[in-house]
Amino acid sequence: MNNPLHSVITGTGTYLPSKKIVNTDFLKHEFYETNGRKLDKDNQDVINKFYEITTIKERRYVQDDQVTSDIAFLAAQKAIADAAIDPEELDYIIVAHNFGDVKHGSNRTDMVPALASRVKFSLKIKNPECISYDLPFGCPGWLQAIIQADYFIKSGDAKKILVIGAETISRVIDPHDRDGMIYADGAGATILEASTEVDKGLLAHKTRSDTYRYSQMLKMAGSYNAQNEKADDLYLKMNGRKLYQYALETVPKSIKACLEKCGKDIRSVKKILIHQANGKMDDAILERLYSLYGINDVPYEVMPMIISWTGNSSVATIPTLLDLILKGELEEHTIEKGDLVVFASVGAGMNINAAVYQF
């Protein structure tokens, strides 16, 4: 009897923008409260508090002549080369993003044609059987695209799939909103291929959407400085306090449910690659996860963190983190053959997902 098909990662690639924006670059900003009043605090104090809460020192922004589909293409090129495949053999290209292509000097989104179609064009793929489409799913978009790709592969519909998470959030943040300091730009790409090899690949996944109570925790709205910004311009807004509480309550439970789904225990997990949203929040999620197993001595080294220098690039954070580890660019972290790795993310929707993968 033939072994069933399952999904394995055969290539990864990342594009990290070269432009570094450090915290002191925000000293010249004018920050406002949600009620439109100018913030009655010194900017240095605002930045110090921001760093204390998020652990972010710097973030990356794209160059003025770049848009999201450009950096998605650059990451895709690296993943394809890493997997050593012919791009004409791809069955699907799935691009996870939330804002499309937003040009410098504007916050208007452009999603026609789909970013995946633009990437396919840039890759010069002529095969009409290569289906390209986009997935807007908040920050968990890349992982949800991986989950969708897994279904295609397991059904026998596809053998090779390119999944990309790319975003240029710097183009949609309100310069008068201190929460905007958390966001960054970037792209990460992954090649999934069908395999019959046992004890390897995507073992289980779990997704939940809590829209009834929490759909407005991340949304688009006007500038806090309404008098000096265009009234019809929309910017990304976040209810950080409630989001923190929601993530702490639900992400650990989802990870545990996913591990139980494939009969694995947290003690056998080598790495937990969690969406790089907020350093302190991710620490709290990890602590809550291990407490569900009655473990008080939390092994923080299981959770690699890069947010301090990359910022929160939304859908790009996990594939970027994965690529850096696999390419040996994070000195203290490695993933070897046989290692069990957990992926997890939380974001707009509110959406949460988790997956268990064996390398």
pLDDT tens across 315-329, in order?
Answer: 999 999 999 999 999
User: How many C-beta atoms lie closer than 10 Å to residue 45's C-beta?
Assistant: 10
Half-sphere CA count of 25, side-chain side, radius 13 A: 15
* Domain limits, the chain: 6-199, 202-358
What are the φ and ψ backbone dihedral angles of 184, each rounded to 5 degrees? -150, 180
At 101, list the tokens: 């292509």
* Whole-angstrom distance, CA of residue 221 vs CA of residue 236: 7
Which pLDDT does position 1 carry in this prediction? 45
* Whole-angstrom distance, CA of residue 324 vs CA of residue 330: 6
Neighbouring residues of 74: CB distance < 8 A, sequence distance ≥ 6: 15, 187
pLDDT at 231 over 80: no
The model's pTM = 0.95
Which pLDDT does position 4 carry in this prediction? 84
pLDDT tens column, 236-274: 999 988 999 999 999 999 999 999 999 999 999 999 999
**For the domain with range 6-199, which CATH number is right: 3.40.30.120, 3.30.565.10, 3.40.47.10, 1.10.1420.10?**
3.40.47.10
pLDDT tens column, 56-80: 999 999 999 999 999 999 999 999 9
Identical fold for domains 6-199 and 202-358, yes or no, is yes
Does domain 202-358 fall under CATH 3.40.47.10? My reply is yes
pLDDT tens column, 32-42: 999 889 988 89
Neighbouring residues of 2: CB distance < 8 A, sequence distance ≥ 6: 196
Residues in the chain, how many? 359
Sign of CA dihedral 280, 273, 21, 107: negative
